[in-house]
Each structure stands twice: as C-alpha cells, then as structure tokens.
Amino acid sequence: MRNQAVVTFQPERKAVSVPTGTPLRDAISKAGIDMEFPCGGHGICGKCRIDVRGEVNLPSEEERELYTPEELEKGLRLCCRVEILGPVDVRALQTPAKTDVILQEGKEPAYEIRSPLRAVDLVLQPPSVTDQRADEERLLEALRSQGIHAKPLPGHLLRNLPRLLRESNWAVTAVLFGEDWLALHSQGTTQGVYGVAVDLGTTTVVASLHDVKTGTEFAKHGMTNRQVVCGGDVISRLSYVRERRDGLETLHRHAAETLNRLIEQLVADRKEEIYAVSLAGNTIMQQLFLQMDPTPIASSPFVPVCHRPSVWKARELGVKIHPDGCVCVAPVIAGYVGGDIVADILAASLYESDETLIMLDLGTNAEIVLTYQHNMTACACAAGPAFEGGEISQGMRAMEGAIERVWVERNELRLGVIGDAEPAGICGSGLVDALALLLETGVVDRTGRLLPPKEYSGPDWLRERIRENVEGTRFVLWENKKSSISLTDKDIREIQLAKGAVKAGIKILCYEQGITVDRIDRVLIAGAFGSHLRPESALKVGLIPPMDIEKVNFIGNAAWVGAKIMLLSEPGMRRSRVISEKMRYIELSGRMDFQSEFGLSMGFDDNWEYFGAI
Amino acid sequence: MRNQAVVTFQPERKAVSVPTGTPLRDAISKAGIDMEFPCGGHGICGKCRIDVRGEVNLPSEEERELYTPEELEKGLRLCCRVEILGPVDVRALQTPAKTDVILQEGKEPAYEIRSPLRAVDLVLQPPSVTDQRADEERLLEALRSQGIHAKPLPGHLLRNLPRLLRESNWAVTAVLFGEDWLALHSQGTTQGVYGVAVDLGTTTVVASLHDVKTGTEFAKHGMTNRQVVCGGDVISRLSYVRERRDGLETLHRHAAETLNRLIEQLVADRKEEIYAVSLAGNTIMQQLFLQMDPTPIASSPFVPVCHRPSVWKARELGVKIHPDGCVCVAPVIAGYVGGDIVADILAASLYESDETLIMLDLGTNAEIVLTYQHNMTACACAAGPAFEGGEISQGMRAMEGAIERVWVERNELRLGVIGDAEPAGICGSGLVDALALLLETGVVDRTGRLLPPKEYSGPDWLRERIRENVEGTRFVLWENKKSSISLTDKDIREIQLAKGAVKAGIKILCYEQGITVDRIDRVLIAGAFGSHLRPESALKVGLIPPMDIEKVNFIGNAAWVGAKIMLLSEPGMRRSRVISEKMRYIELSGRMDFQSEFGLSMGFDDNWEYFGAI
C-alpha cells in the first residue's frame, strides 16, 4: 500500500490527502479547485505555472527549458508535470478561470415568437354516458381542437392522469415541447414556463433566460467552460477522453456543471420553472456534453455520432431544470461543422438570402459556408491556433492585457489593449492588425518575409522597431524597461498558415458551387474572434476576398442567437433541421486541390483564382 | 407507542412481529404468505376461514352468523375480521392458492409469423472520406436497405454507438420492437431473442415463451394471479384501491410479481434473453398492472385511461426481462370491454369473417361482440357472479371438487366433478347444465319457478330430490350422510339474472346493427367459463339464440392466443389497434330499452325479438 500525503493549497487553505505518486493535477481536482490546463496537461504550453514547496518529483525536461535553475530551486514548476511524493504546499500562480466573461451581443433577424415549448390551458368536457372517451383521448382531442397535435402521453403522465383530471375538475395545463409531453398540471398551479438558450463554446458558455410566450429575455450570463480544467482547446480535450478511463464522463460532467451554474445565476431557486434548454455548440462540444465519445471526429474520416437535432430528458444529462424538462441539442453538418454553425446560419438568415454570401467562423478550426442561389455549401479547415493567440511567441487569448488593435496615428504606433492595462501579449485581432500595418508599410514583403533593418527603406520610427538576433527578426510593438511585446518572423508564418487555409477553403467552395470568388456579394463574420477583427485589416492581409469594406459584416455571437431562435420559434427549429439535411459538405482533407490552393494562398496577393490540383 | 406482538403461522412455522391492533391480514402479507380474500376482505364471502389461538379481537357479527358458538370457542374465525392484540398462533384452513393451474388451449387462426420483435444482423460499410455519414445515419440506412424503417436511436444507445460500431468492426445486431429500438449488440454476442405472450386474467395468469423468428412455443405456464390476496374479483380489487393509500401500488406489484414468477418458470436464469412481453387482460386488470388508477371505471361513465395499445419499458413496470425490453399492452375498447376481448377478436379472426357472428366472453362481466358485414359492435353487461359460482348457495369456481357437468343416464342423475373428487360445490357450467335439465324435465317452469314436490308431476326419482323447508325449495344434486349439494330457488334467480343480461345484450346489439337475432350464423364462446359450458345446455336455458348445435363453437383461451398473435405478427399487432378504433361500443347502462329487454329476457322462452323501451 502506498502512503498518503497531505497537499495544502494557498491562498485557499484547502488541504487534501492523496496517495504518494498521485499527479498534482489530480490532487487539485480532488480539492475542487478550478485550474486551466490549456494544452491538456502535456507540458507543452507552459501555462500552468505553479509554486510548489515539499516532496515532489524532479523537474522534467520541459520545465528545465522553461525555468532558470534559480527558479526551479525556488519551487517554480509546471503543475501538469508534478507528482506528489510527500507533504506539499502549493501556491497557484495562474489566474483562476473567471466565472464572468464579457458577453457579446449578436445581430438578430426578425422572427415570429412561436416556441415549441408551450403551456396550454385546457378545460375538458367531463365524461358522460354519451361521451365515454378515455381520459387520454379526451385530452388529446381537446389539444387537437386548438390545432395542437401532441403525441400519446408518456407512462408517468398516463399513470397520474385519472387522478389529476378529476382533482383539477377537468381544468389542466399541458406543458409541451413540439409534439412531446413534458408535464401536465392542475390549472392555476403552474408557475412560470421558461426556456434557456445556450451557446456551448469551447472556452465560454453563454446562457439566457426567456419567457417562451413573448420571447422576453430576463437575464443572460456567460461563464468559462469548466472543461478548461481538462484542456484549453478541443484537441487537448479529445486527448483527455482518449487517455483517461473516465475522461468522457468527466468532461460531460464539467459541461453539465457549467450549465447548471449558469442556470443558477439565471433563476436562483426557480429552476423547476425552466422546461426547455436549446443548446448549440461545435460537434465535439455537443458530443462531450451528451457523453457521446467524440474521438472518431479526431481522425479521418471525422465522423460524428448523429446529424439530427436530438431532444434529451434533462435528467439524462444531469441538467437541473424541471425534472421532466428537455434539452434540445442543435443538429450538426459534419464532425467539424457543428450545431454552432447551424445556429449561425439561422441567426444570419443565410438560407433565405438572395445574395451570394460567405459566412466565416474563425478559430483554431475555421468553418466556411457559401450560399449561392439558396444552395449552401460548407467546409472546415484547420487554421491552427494563431487566431486565438496560440503558437504565437507572445500570443494570448482576447482577455485583459491583450493587444487587440494596432494602428498608426501621426507617424506613431498606437495600441488598443483590452482593459486599458499594460500589454501582456497579443491576441488574434491585434495580430491581423499588426500584420496589415507591416504589409502596408513594407516591413513585411508580399512573400511574408519580415525585412531586416538594413533592407528596410521606410521611415526610421518603424525601422527602429525591427530587431535582429540569432533567433531571427522581430518587430517590437511595445516595450518598457522590463519587457517587450514583439511579432516574430515565425509568428507571421503562423498567421500565413491560418489565412492560407481560409483563403483556400473559400476558393474551393466557390469552385464546387461553380462560381468565381468575385461573385461574392458579402462576407459575414461570426464568433468571438471575428467580433474583434477589423475588416480593413482582414482585407489587407487577404483573409477575405477584395470587396467594399461595408460588405464585410460582423454578426457577433450568432450561435447564441441561433440557439435562441430554436428555443423561441418552432419554424426556426424545423429550419435548423433542414439546414443540416440540405447542406452540401465539402471535405477538404485529402483533396489534392486543397493542398495546392493552400500553398498558393499563403502569400499576400490579391489573386483569388482557383488553380486546382498541381 | 403500541406494543409489538408475535404472530406465528402453522404449518409454515413462519413468525412476524407487528404492532398490536394490526389486522391479521396485514400480518399475513408481511409474512409473505399467499392467502385469497375472494370478497376483498369485507367479511362477505366467508371464504377466508382460519383457526386462531391467542389474543385477538372478539368475533364480528358476520362470524357469529357463520360459526356455531362451539366453533368460535375453538378459535375458528374469518381471517379478514381478526385483529392482533397479543401473541397469536394461526393455522390456515383455506387451501393456499395453487401456483399451477390447468392450462387451456385456444383455437388459433392461420397467421404469418412476422414478429414486431426482431433481431437484425447488419454489416455496415465503414466510414471513409467519401462516405462521412454519421454513425446513426449509417446504421439507420443499413436497416432501411433491408426495408426496416427504425426510429432514431434512444439516448443510451446513441451514447454507446461510436464505441460499439468500432469495437464490433461494424458488424452489429439490432434488436427492434416495431420501429422502436431495444438494444444493439456486437454481432455474435446476442444470445436468444425471445418473447412472452401473457393472458392476464383476474383469477389466472397464463404466459408462454416463444422464439419470435419461428413462433415456436418453448414453454407455457399458468399461475393464480397474486392479486387474489387483495380480492377474488375485479370489484373487490377496486375497493382495495379505493380504501388503501398504497392499494394501487400493491395490486400493481402483485401483478408484476405474478408475471415475474411465471417468467422465471419459463426461462429460469435466461431472463435477459426475453426482449418483449405482449399482454392482454380486461381493462381493469391492465390498468392495475400498469399502475393506472382504475376506479373511474367502477362508476358511471366507466371511463378508461387510454384506448391505444401502449408500449412500456419493462423496468417501468418492474417486469424482469432484458433491462431495455418492452411490455406491449393490448388496446381496449371500453372500461368493460378490454384488451382480452380485442385479443379474443384477433384470435377468432372475427374482423375477417363474412358471417354474422356473436362472440361471448362470459363471467361476472359478460362481453358480447357482434360482427355483421365487417362492422363490429360490442357491449358489456353485468351478469353477476353466477357464472363463476358466486352468489350461488353452494357455488364455487371451476376447481377440484366442483360439479361441472350434470346429465341423466337411464333415469339416473349423473354428475361430472373436477378432479373426480367428492363434490364440494357447483361451478358455472354445472349450474347451466343442472338448470337445463330441470327445465327439460319440468322441475323448473318457464318463469323460472322451482316446483314444490307436490306440484311436480314428473318421475319419482326426480321428485324425491325436490325438498322444501322454511327457506324455500331446493333440488338436491348430491348427498351423503354428512352433506349435500343443492340448487335453490334463489340460485335459479341468479342464473336468470345472468342469462337475462346476456340475452338482452345480444338483442340490443342486433337492433343497433339493424338485424334480427335469427340472422346470426354462429356463436363463439371464449374464456374459462365458456370452455366448460355445454352448447346444448346453453341453448336450452336460452343463453344463446336458437340455432344448430354445431354453430356454437368454443374458442378456448382466446385472450392468450390473441396476445400471442400480437407478439408474433406485426400485422396482428396493427390489426388489434384497428379493432379498438373501429369497434362501435354500445353503452347499455342507462338505456331504457336495456331495462325492458333485461326484464323480458329472464324467462325461459325462445322469443328473441327486440321489444324496445316500455
């Protein structure tokens, strides 16, 4: 038997006892402390820094590279590499995941409020010798006379039916979701009947509370997805599922718990009055939430479990609303074109548009949808983590301290920093801005090369910011005596990979639809990254085809808007299904023309012609 | 706090401790001993006789009437009237309910074996970049290519789907009931796929085990419905529900337990290989089994909870088969025309017949169905308990010792006794036989009067059997030195009431269908009572209209046959639904013409003309 060791966490003053040999990460989880492991605990990202005193294993190779010998001596470690060997004191250096996040609005189309969730008041004719219809028949026919064709009652309601009808004196309230029964009450005993719309993001989960009769939004909250404790992105969460016996169950629980916390914020102690949740997320997020193994999506041929919208009993998913309430999960198009994109399309009324439109949802994975003469085509491409600040030397997510905007005013470089704080790094939109500026001023040439100072013939105030050392060339965006934020040659390469993938995707969609890129009337940009992006910069770096700047529109958190439409509009719900069924999905992986278009799209030119396989 | 008292049961030597004041009946239930209370424990039937020693309450008025003071002194009591006041020794005098009952065969129509329960072997095309269908889509389409249109998968199967498909190398066995999913296995791991057909009778439950592919019957067992411990007939069970807070739950549990014991006898330890149970019973039996309050059926307007066939998860009902198996309960026509009658109709192919047919199911409640030119009409009438030996001075159910046949051979009265035992009483078929004989010989006149000896001018050997005392006239069927079995004036009245109700019902059905009774081509008699009945006697007492004797056919335990057809034939299952939907039900209660026809039908004449309301 192994010995037990006590692990104490500061400043929380929490302590847990674990067997020696336990990874510190598991002790943290046991202590109920939220800690983010962006790379999923593989020692790659170096972001789970921690200060440890006591009996632990020796530092790993990754840690020896990251820390100076003095720092290691002091106890600085990567949390994911530490094993408990005896009593240990831990001080988390990392900011814990914030529970409140900045909420983003989304543009909304006009739609009629006609929610599939309904509370219908009925007064039934009591039975008589001349009207001996069975209780259920009487109830269903009363609904039918109001134009509502409900399914037969489920067993638990059927069992209670004779008593309820007679005790209520034949006046009841039926709570339905579409044709499905949720509850049946004596009239007058039903409190509210509310619905919740959820955007289940990889990083952030947003939920709003609605009166389903009027659509009125009572509250809206956002929160970091608790799954970040198992990995910051989709890929590291997939590894978590693959590597742990209870990985899928843990991630499912974290997602449900995030949702439950949000619901608690939305309604406090009136959870029983929520009867339906409408939820949209990418395919992997949805499958994790549903506890359906998503690992087949990780490798070719990237297959999801199901396409259709699925309706679940809240209790099957551990979602704490009315015990017979339901959770309706958006349909998906493919393993990498998920319910969030279906929701985006709903929110943007893409299906109804007579224009030729491109919709982009940019992130580690970029989803692209083309609509042309009411035909829709979609593809997904791996853009890499650059848009979210990953794999960028000083990249970070769009949070406090991130440079999110770069521009020039009177020969001076100006920076927009989130929270007006001292710059701590640069996020995706800042990167695109900076690159656009460097291209415009010639600091970066058409091939993506960052010119060394001696080759640069532009103004001095720019040349001064170009530095060279053995590692290569970099452009300093900001510096003070202690530190600096720069863009390196390698960073530019990362952005080129990202934008090359997107450009190639757009070209191939147009080719498959039989049109040229210049036929595109408008570009819609959805998602968190998109909302920070500036169209002029996106145009300058060639992320989107050349067009008038006012033809580039941001649609904000369209996934949440789409989830809301599915909650509040039965036609919207049906439309979501049609979108997933009619959409033509183009698989890019393994296509020879994608390889060549990708290569051709990395340079900074205005050529959007489809070339085809080389 | 009340004191505890120990109750000991002999010869079982079981003992339980209960608070003083507890009814003995509850102590018996606590001890897990099966005991029948035919009248539901109301002290009416006098059949729960018992021998008690120890501290109990004083005998009730009913008991003082039933027992002599000496018997009471010895401790003879009615179990249902005894309350425990201190330590008690109990000896049951009553034969405990037999678990094995005589199985009755039923006539079977020809039908194609095509069970809704199916195990389908599938080998799926693995996904590829050119075939990215979702797992569920792939599975459903493979089924569709075999002509099977299954519903989307339920959540628990969906969750397991990615792992199962890949681990099984895409070779799976789908277990379906109609369009519904029950299970999905790796190919080769499925053992048997069996179904059980159940006739859920008020007294006896019969179940058989079948290979659903071939229809082969492996085993068949019958057992007394454990609900008899709460009351012998439907009416006393309804009181049990009305009078006890947990009455419905108890009766539901007893029914499920009876079924579970039968299943155990059918398959021993291979219960998991049973995936479906098809069950038919009268409406009240079905509702009790489903734990749906049947008390609204007890009083006007006699309304059931639902008409349609209902499919339940076995675990919802506590039925121990495969955990995801289902129980399919037959549709019903009305509160007193239940799933057993629908099953009878299926078994008799009534719907398909070109003849004009009457089908009778006789018991406390008599159900009558008329089919004429493929139109079906049904009614139910309270025949009273006479056909089942109830309310008859020496009546009993058709069990060992019951006189079930009476005839004359060479001027001698002959009796058929069940089990060739010494006569203990007379059951329904014996009663009808005896009455037919008395009518034929003139001992009973056309009005139903049992002639006193001095008025009877027939042979001496008959007249000798007519006795008179202050209570009235009786006809002795059997006697020895200690006891005798007789038919009284009052008994004949009971049979007149029963047959009058049936005759009135037949007349009204014909009237409603616009035909005269002589148009009837054939009479089919279903059920346990019917199978003992002799057509010549039924014709003589006027229970059925005058016709050639070979036109009166017994169809045996048709309810079980019907349940089996629903289990083994999808068209049969659909047909059952059509029967319940298309059937025209005629409510007799409150009809003025029923009152008059009933009165006119009690005499023993051959007039079957409809008279109408007086």
Interface test with B, best of A139, A151, A305 (most B CBs within 10 A): A305
A281 occurs within a structural domain: yes
Interface of A with B in 128-157 (CB under 8 A): 128-137, 152-153, 155
Q: What is the pLDDT of residues B151-178, one digit of tens each?
A: 999 999 999 999 999 999 999 999 999 9
The two structure tokens encoding residue A111? 């739609």
Shared domain for B451 and B520, answered yes or no, is no
Q: CB contact, 8 Å: A316 with chain B?
A: yes
Closest approach of chain A CAs to the CA of B8, in angstroms? 38
Q: What is the pLDDT of residues A15-57, one digit of tens each?
A: 888 888 888 888 887 777 777 776 777 777 776 778 888 888 8
What phi and psi, each to the nearest 5 degrees, are found at residue A604? -100, 75
Q: Cβ–Cβ of A303/B135 closer than 8 Å?
A: yes
Q: What is the pLDDT of residues A285-344, one digit of tens each?
A: 999 999 999 999 999 999 999 999 999 999 999 999 999 999 999 999 999 999 999 999
Per-residue pLDDT, A539: 95
Per-residue pLDDT, A59: 87
Are the C-beta atoms of B36 and B47 separated by less than 8 Å?
yes
- Asked if the model's pLDDT at residue A106 lies above 70, the reply is no
Confidence band of B94 (pLDDT split at 50, 70, 90) = low
**Residue at which a domain ends, from A139, A168, A186:** A186
Q: Select from A508, A513, A537 the least CA-distant residue to A525.
A: A537
Per-residue pLDDT, B199: 97
A296 occurs within a structural domain: yes
Are the C-beta atoms of A266 and A219 separated by less than 8 Å?
yes
Interface of A with B in 554-593 (CB under 8 A): 585, 587, 589-590
B610 occurs within a structural domain: no
A21 occurs within a structural domain: yes
Closest approach of chain B CAs to the CA of A13, in angstroms? 39
**Largest Cα–Cα distance of chain A, in whole Å?**
102
Q: What is the pLDDT of residues B260-312, one digit of tens each?
A: 999 999 998 889 999 999 999 999 999 999 999 999 999 999 999 999 999 99
Per-residue pLDDT, B76: 82
| More confident site: A552 or B391 | A552
Any residues with CB less than 8 A from the CB of A514 and at least 6 apart, and which? none
Interface of B with A in 351-390 (CB under 8 A): none
SS3 B63: helix
Q: Which of A134, A159, A587 sits opposite B307 (nearest CB)?
A: A134
- Asked if the model's pLDDT at residue B528 lies above 80, the reply is no
Any residues with CB less than 8 A from the CB of B68 and at least 6 apart, and which? none
Per-residue pLDDT, B240: 95
Q: Cβ–Cβ of B310/A129 closer than 8 Å?
A: no
Confidence band of B357 (pLDDT split at 50, 70, 90) = very high
**Residue at which a domain ends, from A136, A163, A186:** A186
A324 occurs within a structural domain: yes
Are the C-beta atoms of A83 and A57 separated by less than 8 Å?
yes
Q: What ipTM does this complex have?
A: 0.83
Helix, strand, coil % in chain A, rounded to nearest 5: 35, 30, 35
B607 occurs within a structural domain: no
CATH number at residue A160: 3.10.20.880
Shared domain for A309 and A234, answered yes or no, is yes
Q: Cβ–Cβ of A161/B305 closer than 8 Å?
A: yes
Shared domain for B436 and B503, answered yes or no, is no
Cα–Cα distance for residue pair B432/B337, rounded to 1 Å: 24
Chain A residue with minimum CA distance to B131 = A301
Per-residue pLDDT, A102: 55
B128 occurs within a structural domain: yes
CATH number at residue A317: 3.30.420.480
Are the C-beta atoms of A413 and A383 separated by less than 8 Å?
no
A549 occurs within a structural domain: no
CATH number at residue B14: 3.10.20.30
Shared domain for A170 and A208, answered yes or no, is no
Other CB atoms within a 10 A radius of the CB of residue B283 amount to 30
Q: CB contact, 8 Å: A305 with chain B?
A: yes
What phi and psi, each to the nearest 5 degrees, are found at residue A103? -90, 140
Chain A residue with minimum CA distance to B588 = A129
Q: Cβ–Cβ of A134/B303 closer than 8 Å?
A: yes
Number of domains in chain A: 4
Give the angle B505-B509-B510 at the CA atoms, nearest 5°: 120
Dihedral (CA of A68, A69, A75, A80) sign: positive
Mean pLDDT score of chain A, rounded to an integer? 91
Shared domain for B219 and B273, answered yes or no, is yes
Q: Select from B139, B29, B26 the least CA-distant residue to B82.
A: B26
Shared domain for A516 and A495, answered yes or no, is yes
SS3 B435: helix
E-state strands within B445-548: 466-469, 472-479, 484-488, 522-526
- Asked if the model's pLDDT at residue B332 lies above 80, the reply is yes
E-state strands within A263-417: 274-281, 310-313, 326-329, 357-361, 365-372, 375-382, 402-409, 412-417
Are the C-beta atoms of A455 and A473 separated by less than 8 Å?
no
- Asked if the model's pLDDT at residue A99 lies above 60, the reply is no
Q: What is the pLDDT of residues A469-499, one digit of tens each?
A: 888 999 999 999 999 999 999 999 999 999 9
Q: Write B571-578 long-range contacts (CB < 8 A, 24+).
A: B571/B111, B571/B112, B571/B114, B572/B111, B572/B346, B573/B116, B573/B178, B573/B278, B573/B309, B573/B328, B575/B346, B575/B351, B576/B309, B576/B330, B576/B331, B576/B342, B576/B343, B576/B346, B577/B308, B577/B309, B577/B331, B578/B351
Interface test with A, best of B305, B308, B342 (most A CBs within 10 A): B305
B19 conformational bin, left if phi > 0, alpha if psi -120 to 50, beta if neither: beta
The two structure tokens encoding residue A68? 């100076």
- Which amino acid type is present at position B63? E
- Asked if the model's pLDDT at residue A100 lies above 60, the reply is no
Interface of B with A in 328-347 (CB under 8 A): 332, 334-335
Shared domain for A324 and A387, answered yes or no, is no
Shared domain for A144 and A203, answered yes or no, is no
Q: Cβ–Cβ of B153/A306 closer than 8 Å?
A: yes
Shared domain for B221 and B324, answered yes or no, is yes
Any residues with CB less than 8 A from the CB of B446 and at least 6 apart, and which? B603, B604, B605
Cα A567 vs. chain centroid, distance in angstroms? 19
**Residue at which a domain ends, from A55, A76, A92:** A92
Are the C-beta atoms of B243 and B23 separated by less than 8 Å?
no
Alpha-carbon Rg of chain B, whole angstroms?
A: 27
Shared domain for A259 and A404, answered yes or no, is no
Per-residue pLDDT, B19: 87
Are the C-beta atoms of B79 and B35 separated by less than 8 Å?
yes
Are the C-beta atoms of A175 and A185 separated by less than 8 Å?
yes
* Burial status of residue B58 (CB atoms within 10 A of its CB: 0-12, 13-18, 19 or more): exposed
- Asked if the model's pLDDT at residue B189 lies above 90, the reply is no
Are the C-beta atoms of A492 and A448 separated by less than 8 Å?
yes
Tell me the DSSP string of A133-183: --HHHHHHHHHHTTT--PPPPPHHHHHHHHHHHHHTTTEEEEEEETTEEEE
Q: CB contact, 8 Å: B316 with chain A?
A: yes
The two structure tokens encoding residue A566? 């599915």
| More confident site: A471 or B142 | B142
Q: Which of A158, A332, A585 sits opposite B292 (nearest CB)?
A: A158
pTM, rounded to two decimals: 0.84
Give me the domain span that covers residue B166: 117-186
Shared domain for B498 and B459, answered yes or no, is no
CATH number at residue B359: 3.30.420.40
E-state strands within B127-179: 171-177
Quickly list H helices, A416-478.
428-440, 460-463
Cα–Cα distance for residue pair A305/A605, rounded to 1 Å: 40
Chain A residues in contact with B128 (beta carbon < 8 A): 301
- Asked if the model's pLDDT at residue B366 lies above 60, the reply is yes
Are the C-beta atoms of A351 and A345 separated by less than 8 Å?
yes
Shared domain for A13 and A73, answered yes or no, is yes
Per-residue pLDDT, A19: 87
